[in-house]
Amino acid sequence: MPKRKNIPEPEDDLKFIDVHCHLPFPRPKNDNLPSNREQYLDFFKLGGKYLITSSIDLQTLNMTLDFMKEHSKNFGFTCGWAPQTVTYTPKNKHDQNWKKWLEFVKSHPETYLGIGEIGLDFHHAKTLEKRNRQIEVLEKIFEMTKNLDKPYILHVRSAAKHEFDPQNPKHRFNKIDGANKEILRILKKYKIKAKKVMWHCFSGPEEYGKILPNQGFSLSVPSSAFGFERWQKVTKSSPLQSLMTETDSYYQHPFKRGPINVPSNVRYSIAAIAYTHNVSQQKVSDITVENAIKFFDLKIT
Ligand SMILES: [Zn+2]
């Protein structure tokens, strides 16, 4: 367990937006989390302004649309096809569901706020073949959606040193920024504007916390930045104007391990940013809420 730093707890009167969580989501039985509805209600009770969930495949898209029949006030979703979905779904099922997903994305752009999470994950895809497959699907997504003028939410995870593919040790993917570089290459190829792109749960490497905002990209800081130094380090040099806040719940708990996080914990992202940037929580709250409203063109009622 990493040492927990002594950061001030979130203040009581913050307003906040969670730009990325997973609610509803397939959950293990007896996970001890409040119900989806309770999580939704708590979020607004504590000062939430807008809650954005993210689907990752066809199943979670359908769950989300269903949940939104009863819970649509200040709640929206981004429509995603996660790199893990590409890697872990058997090919037949993947290609079948992919067609339905793409059909939905093209025919119902008014129902969702952005496209994502999409991206590359070289931790989950460890071989060259699996990595190339993720790239192939990601390129198709940009090709088919670039004219929709929607924001993109990226999941980008490069391989750690011990995950470099031993069959192809010299390959460009086997660098600590291998996935970052590949994403930048693809965005350029499809002429996707940086101001339309958010790197969700931004994980570094550290110098990218400066490089990406300089190019106009937005980064979102997970609630786990409160208790885990590695999540603080990567955005400590990023300008506040480029940052948003998320929980990625039920992942990324502020200071515990395991799938036990809830959207109202996004207040801990604010506390973490206030700490790394040495400014008031109130200021971080104001700026990150404004950033999210602008980026997603949110209509708060
Ligand atoms: Zn996520």
Taking only the tens place, the pLDDT of each residue in 257-283 is 888 999 999 999 999 999 999 999 999
Q: How far is the CA of 170 from the centre of ligand 1 (A)?
A: 30
Q: How far is the CA of 117 from the centre of ligand 1 (A)?
A: 7
- pLDDT value of position 30: 77
Q: If pLDDT is split at 50, 70 and 90, which confidence band does 4 have?
A: low
Report which of residues 201 and 163 the model is more confident about.
201
Q: How far is the CA of 127 from the centre of ligand 1 (A)?
A: 23
Q: How far is the CA of 252 from the centre of ligand 1 (A)?
A: 9
Q: How far is the CA of 232 from the centre of ligand 1 (A)?
A: 18
- pLDDT value of position 8: 95
Q: If pLDDT is split at 50, 70 and 90, which confidence band does 32 have?
A: confident
Compute the mean pLDDT over every residue in the chain, rounded to the nearest whole number. Answer: 95
The token pair at 29 is 């039985």
Percent of the chain scored above 70 by pLDDT? 98
Taking only the tens place, the pLDDT of each residue in 160-195 is 888 898 888 889 999 999 999 999 999 999 999 999
- pLDDT value of position 29: 80
Q: How far is the CA of 52 from the centre of ligand 1 (A)?
A: 11
- pLDDT value of position 155: 98
Does 104 score more than 80 pLDDT? Answer: yes
Calculate mean pLDDT across residues 55-59: 98
Q: How far is the CA of 235 from the centre of ligand 1 (A)?
A: 18
- pTM tops 0.75: yes
Q: How far is the CA of 23 from the centre of ligand 1 (A)?
A: 10
Q: How far is the CA of 136 from the centre of ligand 1 (A)?
A: 21
- pLDDT value of position 69: 97
Q: How far is the CA of 54 from the centre of ligand 1 (A)?
A: 7
Q: If pLDDT is split at 50, 70 and 90, which confidence band does 5 have?
A: low
Report which of residues 166 and 236 the model is more confident about.
236
H helices of 89-192, where?
A: 91-107, 128-145, 178-189
Largest CA distance in the chain: 54
Q: How far is the CA of 223 from the centre of ligand 1 (A)?
A: 12
Strand order in the sheet with 75-79: 16-21, 48-54, 75-79, 114-121, 152-157, 197-199, 218-222, 243-246
Q: How far is the CA of 22 from the centre of ligand 1 (A)?
A: 6
Percent of the chain scored above 90 by pLDDT? 92
Q: How far is the CA of 262 from the centre of ligand 1 (A)?
A: 13
- Rama region for 10: left / alpha / beta (φ>0; ψ in -120 to 50; rest): beta
Q: How far is the CA of 48 from the centre of ligand 1 (A)?
A: 19
- pLDDT value of position 113: 98
Cβ-count burial of 11 within 10 angstroms (0-12 exposed, 13-18 middle, 19+ buried)? middle
Does 2 score more than 80 pLDDT? Answer: no
Q: How far is the CA of 21 from the centre of ligand 1 (A)?
A: 6
- pLDDT value of position 34: 95
DSSP state for residue 46 in the 8-state scheme = T
Question: Which residues fall within 8 angstroms of residue 44, CB to CB, at 6 or more apart?
Answer: 51, 74
Whole-angstrom distance, CA of residue 60 vs CA of residue 64: 6
Q: How far is the CA of 241 from the centre of ligand 1 (A)?
A: 22
- pLDDT value of position 103: 97
Q: How far is the CA of 20 from the centre of ligand 1 (A)?
A: 6
Q: How far is the CA of 157 from the centre of ligand 1 (A)?
A: 12
CA 183 to chain centre: 15
Q: How far is the CA of 44 from the centre of ligand 1 (A)?
A: 21
